[in-house]
Amino acid sequence: MSYETLSFGRVTWTNVVRPIPADVQRLREDHPYFHPLDLEDLLSRIERPKIDEYDDYLFIVMHFPLWDRERRISKAAEVDFFIGAGYLVTVHDGELTPLNGLFEQVRHDSEARQEFMSGGAGYLLHIVIDRLVDYIFPMLYKVDAHIRDIEENLFVEDIRRTIQNISFVRRDIIALRRIIRPQLPIVFNLENVDRPFIREDLDVYFGDILDHLQKARDIVEDDAELIVSLADTNDALASHRINEVMRILTVISVIMLPLTLISGILGMNIPLPLPREHSSFWVIMGLMLLVSFAMLAYFRYRRWL
């Protein structure tokens, strides 16, 4: 859908947004040494994060989280990289704001173009990945804010709403963990493996990105443990409230047993005391009330109420 190329000095940045077969064919013509399987992967939506190394270029697949407002979950947005001597190719769906903004900045700002592209294709790759990794942290801080809201309202909100909020946050944390973890080996590889088309002094820069990814992973792991603890606490509160309800219902049922027995006996079609007394109804009602109060007093004495 969009095939754009920027050049500065000896570096060329090609940005392909929502690729179609015609874009892949153009890449094949511009870079005939790209492996056909790598080009085929550009049109696939189920690629796992990976790094494929060839003699004169790298093919990298990375995923970054993107918030889905409708489903209330972070989904994986894929970015494919081709990097070689003097060129960088990025292929994506155009949904990642940092990548779109960086390309527009480089295209319209000559100073940014000189700053980001004068260091070579490897340095430009570092800038792109660094921007995308930094984009993760606002999403993680948003998850932290949701967890704090759950903590503050755990004892006051409706249990059903709390369970729903915990479930949404827990699902989002699982998605973030699944997205962030596979990126660590890729950046570790970029940091520790020397390649002729990536400057050796860039290992420090990729190491900084790796530190940020590890920090993001640690935040997700801490959030995962915390949300599990909150879920356990909420389950304990729900069980306690259910037990309270069951205790009240049990007390009511136990009190009704002798009253049912009295009414059953007096309803028998046999001669009984006070059959024709006008006050017999009130006597029986008084007896029932007396039994009820006696049982309530006993339950209170035993601290069951």
Highest mean pLDDT, choosing among 15-24, 42-51, 237-246: 15-24
- The reported pLDDT for the residue numbered 238 is 84
Q: Is the pLDDT of residue 157 over 80?
A: no
In a domain, 245, yes or no: no
Q: Is the pLDDT of residue 273 over 70?
A: no
In a domain, 263, yes or no: no
**Which candidate, 278, 280, 279, places its Cα nearest to that of 267?**
280
- The reported pLDDT for the residue numbered 213 is 96
Mean pLDDT of the region 104-133: 94
Check residue 47 and report its DSSP letter. Answer: P
Are 83 and 61 spatial neighbours (Cβ–Cβ below 8 Å)? no
In a domain, 103, yes or no: yes
Are 154 and 237 spatial neighbours (Cβ–Cβ below 8 Å)? yes
Mean pLDDT of the region 134-162: 89
What's 128's domain CATH number? 3.30.460.20
Q: In a 3-state reduction of DSSP, which class is residue 91?
A: strand
Say how many domains are in the chain.
Answer: 2
Mean pLDDT of the region 115-133: 94
- The reported pLDDT for the residue numbered 275 is 58
The 10s digit of each residue's pLDDT in 36-51 is 999 999 988 777 999 9
Q: Find the domain containing 229 and state its range.
A: 2-239
Mean pLDDT of the region 144-150: 93
